[in-house]
A and B are shown apart, each in its own frame.
Chain A
Amino acid sequence: MSTFIDDWGELLWKGIIETFQMTSISLIIAILIGVPLGIAVVLTRPGQLLANRVVYQILNIMINIVRSIPFIILLFFIIPFTKYIVGTTIGVQGIIVPLVLYTAPYIARLMESAFLEVDQGVIEAYKAMGMKKRQIIWHVLLREARPSMILGLTLAVISLIGATAMAGLVGGGGLGDIAYRYGFQQYKTELMYVVVAMLIILVQIIQTIGNRWAARLKRN
């Protein structure tokens, strides 16, 4: 045990830090893009507050296109774009662009379904009280959707962690990279098991936090 930590401790720690870095930075950017995108998709839907068939269809198709590309392909497919945005295609920086591009449309879809769960009756009640659309979006739609938004974001974080595991392929580092390079390619099986166990624990913790947070907001 202690020799294992002596041998690999430093490497694993670095992997954890890198995974957290990649996840948190791309999560924040993906939220900043995905949540407003999700709101836009919901609001422009036919019958909703800002119904606009053209905008809705364009957003819908855009999200679908990006979401249909497997991450591993997206990673290489957008290399020129990544290079243009951050100037490099390797390291934590290089992986952020594909991670965001992968996660933001996913978040948009998750947010869309969270907003669709909000009772149309409440929105109608606020319309009947003479509230402005902006007030309804902020004080009804976003407020009531919070529990489902949190559950959706929890899903997004977990899938994002999965995606960072592929980051090693562009030299992004992280836990997945360690498991692949040392565990798989260099037959250090025990290292791979440890990394998998760590990922399992991480996912469990995140899901538990998400569930509890959503339950507290839900008040049921």
Chain B
Amino acid sequence: MIELKNIKKTFKSNKKLITAVDGVSISVKEGEIHGVIGYSGAGKSTLIRCVNLLEAPTEGEVLINGENLLELSSEELRKVRGGIGMIFQHFNLLQTVTVYDNIAIPLKLSGVAKKDLKVRVEKYLEIVGLSDRAANYPSQLSGGQKQRVAIARALSLEPKILLSDEATSALDPETTDSILDLLLKINRELGITILLITHEMNVIQKICDEVYVMENGQVVEQGPTLELFAKPEHPTTRKFLNTISQRQLSDTLIETLNVSGAVTRLTFVGQSTGKPALAEISKRFAVTPNILAANIIELKNGIVGNITVHLEGDAIALKKALNYLRDVGIRIEQLGGQIR
């Protein structure tokens, strides 16, 4: 549905050439939610603006339903844009008109008949849960409510695709959750395909099917969210994961503990939990598992669990125990080097 092929975008600033996006390809199928995560300056904002050509890529192709947007006339492009909704970090509502008019004006301008206007506005205000706020002005609303109005405005044009440019970044955690629930709802109930960018890992965790980690204009790691949470490879991905679950122990602690055994991180995906496996190894082998940290991350499509455990025992027993764990399908990562 959305296909970005080898997108490159360079800017000239103070006579220096800056590459904001450097050869990024993204493919979002109908009905999916994909997320691009990265620190500020990673180029993700430029990337999402390339999807509806608010920013024209220097190189590459932008395909929406197989149609290359770069080949369209400006008139044709306007029509395609009408089918792609977009929401923003700072909501971007008209300040001088009511909530109702914020939704009704774009509808009127895009040719919705006057008699259908009221029904349409009310329908989408209902969906975002703001029916009682139609007569208010944006300045009278909270941040979360303003974003809901912006979502209603985008949805009312009945797009197939929604682009979300840091839509929750200006909101507090609780409001963020409610907006994410709303995005999930419109994805499920209206079948809208969503591409979002964010710097918050919990946004990815809660609603994304696929994730792209971006750094210095490039995608450094990508894949289904579940896989990426279970097997983060790139240091940046790991850093982002650390923001939602404490995965790190201090080097000195690991060093001290490794004298009498092995500090190991066990990761399991889906239904298996680590506990029976740990009980099993203590029974079968001469090792004593000692849990240092544990957490469970609920993702949109499953669960990823992490247990950081100190396995006490001699080298031979440890090796056997680790092999056993590997065999039952638990991913193992030894912290602080190999066992001596």
**What is the interface of chain A, defined by CB distance below 8 A to chain B?**
119, 121-122, 124-132, 135, 139-140, 143-144, 146-147, 217-220
Contacts and interface: CB of A to CB of B under 8 A. Distances in A.
B96 A143 contact: yes
Nearest to A126: B106
Contacts of A146: 96
Interface stretch (B12-20, B84-92, B189-197, B302-310): B84-92
B248 interface: no
A132 to B, nearest CB: 7
6 contacts: A122-B93, A124-B88, A127-B54, A130-B77, A130-B80, A144-B95
Nearest to B89: A121
B81 A130 contact: yes
A121 B88 contact: yes
A147 B110 CA distance: 26
B82 A129 contact: yes
A146 B88 CA distance: 24
Nearest to B80: A130
Contacts of B91: 121
A128 B95 contact: no
Interface in B39-83: 52, 54, 77-83
A139 B109 contact: yes
Contacts of B84: 128
A128 B54 contact: yes
Nearest to B108: A139
Given A122-B92, A124-B88, A219-B96, 19 more contacts: A121-B88, A124-B92, A125-B86, A125-B92, A129-B86, A129-B106, A129-B153, A129-B154, A130-B78, A130-B80, A130-B83, A130-B110, A132-B78, A132-B109, A146-B96, A218-B96, A219-B139, A220-B95, A220-B139
Contacts of B139: 219-220
A143 B150 CA distance: 18
Contacts, number: 71
A188 B266 CA distance: 99
A130 B54 CA distance: 10
B88 A131 contact: no
B285 interface: no
B157 interface: yes
Nearest to A131: B109
B110 A131 contact: yes
B105 interface: yes
B144 to A, nearest CB: 18
A189 to B, nearest CB: 48
Contacts of A218: 95-96
A219 B137 contact: yes
Contacts of A144: 94-96
Nearest to B87: A125
B28 interface: no
A154 B84 CA distance: 41
Interface in B148-172: 150, 153-154, 157, 163
Nearest to B83: A130
B97 interface: yes
Interface in B215-261: none
A140 to B, nearest CB: 7
Given A129-B81, A130-B81, A130-B110, A122 B94 contact: yes
Contacts of A130: 77-83, 110
B92 A119 contact: yes
A143 B166 CA distance: 26
B97 A143 contact: yes
Interface string B171-190: 00000000000000000000
A140 B163 CA distance: 21
B137 A128 contact: no
Nearest to A127: B54
A129 B92 contact: no
A131 B108 CA distance: 11
B96 A121 contact: no
A147 B95 CA distance: 11
A121 B92 contact: yes
Contacts of A140: 94
A131 B77 CA distance: 10
A220 B95 CA distance: 9
A135 B88 contact: no
A21 B304 CA distance: 79
A127 B81 contact: yes
A120 to B, nearest CB: 9
A217 B97 CA distance: 9
Contact of A129 (B93, B96, B110): B110
A129 B90 CA distance: 16
A131 B106 CA distance: 8
Contacts of A143: 94, 96-97
A131 to B, nearest CB: 6
B76 to A, nearest CB: 10
Contacts of A128: 52, 54, 81, 84, 86, 163
A130 B158 CA distance: 13
Contacts of A127: 54, 81
B149 to A, nearest CB: 12
